[in-house]
A and B are shown apart, each in its own frame.
Chain A
Amino acid sequence: MADHFFTFSIITLSLFVVASSGGLESELVADLLTLQAESKSGVIHLDDRTVSKFLTSPRTPRPYSFLIFFDAANFHDKPELRLRELRREFEIVASSFITNHNSSNTKLFFGDIEFRESQSSFQLFGVNSLPHVRLVGPTAKSLKDDSDVMDQGDFSRLAESMAEFVQYRTKLTVGPIHRPPALSKMQLGLITALLLLCLPLVAKRIFAGETLLHDPKIWLSGAVFVYFFSVSGAMHNIIRKMPMFLVDRNDPNKLVFFYQGSGMQLGAEGFAVGFLYTVVGLLLAFVTHVLVYVKDATAKRLAMLFTLLVSFWAVKKVILLDNWKTGYGIHGFWPSSWN
């Protein structure tokens, strides 16, 4: 049935094309504009039928380009594909493009195709891995061979790099990306109102001197935590988006926790060394401020021995790791006559 309809529509469409291609083109664009206006983000949902209507059947050059996001609902829960995130970014690019051009630009449309419902379109494009974004230019005859694939590098900076890709390939400007604010105006107003309500209460507590802030223990643990967090290089991991560990290339079952080379570090590695940095100081403080007041001599000795061993081990470990990672060993600098 579907096939019949398919061939039928192709025949009628091609007849129509022969008859009045100009009229048909403007009709298609009008259809697309309606579809675009119907969708919330401006991304047109395509299926096998619409793909043929808007892409395969019209004669090239088509009056528009199509940027298509290939989606698969059943892979949404796989975090490594980042489908949800990329789709959201794709929608941001689409809506930014549309708002920047006041929904009057008919040169470029954004679409998405779902795998389950449009498997033949996936075959038509030759898509066999996700995430996958394709730009079908006005002159592309074969959807598989003539369209441009957005490669990994263009996903890397999300919406911004996708927009660059579009600008580069279609020579159309996307303009500034409009991201939805993290909090809506309503939420913002509520939060401000709450804050204002709380303010007198908080001020009263402060004047009375009975907040958590008056507890030095909180400050102490806060300060030590900030120290631990910083020396472990966590800021580096956040800025560079480093993973906690890598999977060994040669042996997929093995995990790599330590990265050799001083310019980079992995998350787990940083925290491990940050722990080593911190634990020595904590033990020293324990010895200086707690252990001296312990009355029992044996307990004191044992604790002292433990502290000494752990401190020694931690410092040695850091020196070894540092040597392994950067190739730097502790040197003495002696007068040359001593050698």
Chain B
Amino acid sequence: MEPSSVVETPSPTVSQRDQWIVESQVFQIYQLFSTIPPNAQSLMLELQRDKHIEYLSKGLRHLGSAFSVLDANRPWLCYWIIHAIALLGETIDDDLEDNTVDFLNRCQDPNGGFAGGPGQMPHLATTYASVNTLITLGGDKALASINRDKLYGFMRRMKQPNGGFRMHDEGEIDVRACYTAISVASVLNILDDELIKNVGDFILSCQTYEGGIAGEPGSEAHGGYTFCGLAAMILIGEANRLDLPRLLDWVVFRQGKECGFQGRTNKLVDGCYSFWQGGAVALLQRLQSVIEEQMVEASQSFTKSDAPDEKESSAGTSSHATSRIRREGISESCSSDVKNIGLNFINEWRESEPLFHSIALQQYILLCAQEQEGGLRDKPGKRRDHYHSCYCLSGLSLCQYSWSKRPDSPPLPKVVMGPYSNLLEPIHPLFNVVLERYREAHEFFSGL
């Protein structure tokens, strides 16, 4: 910050003021951290496992009346809590496990899909949360409880001609709906041409001039929707249709000096974007060859010449040709190809440097997002909640494994911030379930 000069500096805008307030809170923490001895630093960096598990387990058994506003989101509460516990390498009691399977079954609509609570209408987001919860629990009982045929029917009913999906009967259409539908269909092995049809067109129309992806065509690029859009495109085999270099550039610039990620340009850091944005970068890293192809293509579309008009048209032709290929997708996606995308994505892993700053992000999560009494939060000054606990921990896992040769190879101690006991379970970055659980589910459903 430059000191004010003789000329009167204008008063800060709302964006500037809000940003400086958060920066000062965050830097205060980092400042304190830098002044204390190494032993104390180690303590500060410790992931409060026991406290987090206590907070999470409690929520599974009992929630106060303030949670009435989440009465149509109970499968989400299950997923946030159970996935977070799984990341911490713990399991829940058998009775709780059975009760969860039973409860989610009561949320399952006889005509397909899972609702926000027993007796409510099925909804794509709560379907995603339910399915991911059951996969995280694992075991035949949990996995077999999903009525795949009916679920497929539900998705077909939600499918729209423009390629998108409605979140529920007559509900809103957006990129989240695409991701929740495609993600579930993929992992349950019910993804087909009918569900895939035009999804790519819809998501493509949601990529903005900034490079990120919005919820609907025309809206602002946003971290949550960017993850959803990118993951969905990968799952249908059409990621190459996006402007990936621009997407990557937008996402990496969402990590600021606070070390965490913001959701949108010029907005505030928030722990949950550790997963949405960090996850998007992790996905993009697996698409490096496509990104490089697109960068080469872009550099070739410009030609310098003495006769700019003439050359422009021929350059225009070639870039039109390549962008036509990009629009139509390099290969026709067909059912047999998409069936194994999720599995191949992690099996064809190559070692690579993370393109975001993994240590910095870990620093934000451990020092700014943890509540000492258990649970994780958006930022200092905000209260903990189960959603942020889930996504901060998911982001932390991503960071820890971001250098790994294989998606589940144990990382070297130097890439794990704080004590090595901070190490979490690895996830499948397309679905955000613990990798081992995903593999089990994939095997279970691939024969069906």
Q: Do A and B interact with each other, yes or no?
A: no
| B interface residues with partner A (beta carbon < 8 Å) | none
